[in-house]
Amino acid sequence: MSEILIDARSVSRSYRLGGVPVAAVVSATLRLHAGDRVALVGRSGSGKSTLLHLMAGLDAPSEGTIAWPALGPRETLLPEKISLVFQAPSLLEPMSVSENVALPLLLAKSAGDIDAAVRAALATFGLEALARKLPEELSGGQMQRVAMARAIVGSPRVILADEPTGQLDQPTGHALLDALIAHLAGTSAALVIATHDPSIAARMDKVWRIEHGVLAESAQTPEPA
Ligand SMILES: Nc1ncnc2c1ncn2[C@@H]1O[C@H](COP(=O)(O)OP(=O)(O)O)[C@@H](O)[C@H]1O
Ligand SMILES: [Mg+2]
């Protein structure tokens, strides 16, 4: 049985909106294993982003527990072991494409050849020619590919991508996903993609459905003894 990377038990997260509690995620139980390819599917407002942020350790649950058995304590997760691709564009404006992609390696004080790793990550998504551009010179689709290159550059154990194809037309979205899946083939990295596009979900091995903050049965399958 493959390693358990994320183990969430009865995790809830509620926000207060004008004093009124909003339950964004309700008692979610899930296990993410090494090598998993998961689509997290639900309509807008169903809790996908909130759940990904909890899985990344970026946010803490209001109730329940979440642990990263094979990865270690929460403070050590981002960006080395888990990378999170935000739904909203999140490139740093004054930095070039290459510098943006290098960021996780710089933050992790990576000892390896940073330039070579950045070049390889850019090549994965066909971005070599854009290395010196600034984010403001890119199209939305190009920015999304750069954010994806930044997510893979440090070879994290988990990649959580929040609607990475949301702003793209379908062929472009599929090309992005194909490049990512090809890059991860043969590795034990786990991938979770939040999406409301069934054609994207169909390319993943598992589908976790979330509705009004409630995760369907499929994510809860317990580990066989
Ligand atoms: N920072 C926040 N403050 C208050 N409510 C929030 C916040 N973030 C999300 N919500 C609410 O939580 C619910 C789930 O949101 P979200 O996780 O962003 O869903 P999705 O990513 O599926 O669109 C929605 O009702 C949303 O309005
Ligand atoms: Mg969202």
Mutate to test the pocket of ligand 1, among 20, 49, 59 (most ligand atoms within 8 A of CB): 49
CA distance 77 to 69: 12
Query: Within 6 Å (CB) of ligand 1, which residues are found?
Result: 15, 17, 22, 24, 42, 44-50
Task: Provide the residue-wise pLDDT of the chain in tens; the chain has 225 residues.
Answer: 689 999 999 999 999 989 999 999 999 999 999 999 999 999 999 999 999 999 999 999 999 999 999 999 999 998 889 999 998 879 999 999 999 999 999 998 888 899 999 999 999 999 999 999 999 999 988 999 999 999 999 999 999 999 998 888 899 999 999 999 999 999 999 999 999 999 999 999 999 999 999 999 767 655 554
Contacts with 28 (C-beta within 8 Å, 6 or more apart), sequence order? 8, 10, 11, 12, 51, 54, 64, 210, 213, 214, 215, 219
Read off the pTM.
Answer: 0.94
CA distance 150 to 85: 9
- pLDDT at residue number 43: 94
Q: Give the sheet arrangement for strand 206-211, strand by strand.
A: 82-85, 158-162, 190-195, 37-41, 206-211, 214-215
- pLDDT at residue number 89: 76
Query: Residue 21, preceding bond cis, omega within 30 degrees?
Result: no
- pLDDT at residue number 220: 62
Q: Which residues are near ligand 2, the ion (C-beta closer than 5 Å)?
A: 48-49, 87
Strands 4-17 and 20-33: antiparallel
Domains and CATH numbers, the chain: 35-59+71-208 (3.40.50.300)
Phi, psi (rounded to 5 degrees) for 66: -135, 135
